Amino acid sequence: MDPVILFTIITIVVAISLLSFYKQQENRVTANLHNDNLKQLLTITALEQKFSHYHVNDENDRQLITNQIVQLVNGYERGEIHADVFQNQMDYLLEQLN
């Protein structure tokens, strides 16, 4: 077989393999973006960045504030807490850290 034809066939097979892999990854990413876990992950990441410059010395206080944050985020995600109330309570928790 001519080397040019062999190279062309190999290139086509590799291209088809790469395209199918890309399509699988794209479907995975799309499924994850529409998942509720992403919303929770983004909320927690935003809270971690917001709290990153505050320091709590007492481990019990840290655990108490963490539990309050988890309850607050869960209530907000379930729709039990309105956005304004959520923000006010988060501000209150930030004031407690100071």
What tens digit of pLDDT does each residue of 33-91 get? 666 566 667 777 777 776 666 665 666 777 787 788 888 888 887 888 887 888 888 87
Domain ranges of the chain: 1-34, 36-97
**Statement: the pTM of the whole predicted model exceeds 0.85:** no
Judge whether 48 and 54 are in contact, CB under 8 Å.
no
Q: How far apart are CA 72 and CA 98, in angstroms?
A: 19
Q: Is the dihedral of CA 31, 37, 43, 45 positive or negative?
A: negative
Judge whether 42 and 67 are in contact, CB under 8 Å.
no
Question: Can you give the pLDDT at residue 16?
Answer: 96
Question: Can you give the pLDDT at residue 32?
Answer: 64
Q: How far apart are CA 23 and CA 29, in angstroms?
A: 10
Question: Can you give the pLDDT at residue 11?
Answer: 96
What tens digit of pLDDT does each residue of 15-24 get? 999 999 999 8
| 34, amino acid identity | H
Question: Can you give the pLDDT at residue 6?
Answer: 93
Judge whether 74 and 37 are in contact, CB under 8 Å.
no
Question: Can you give the pLDDT at residue 4?
Answer: 92
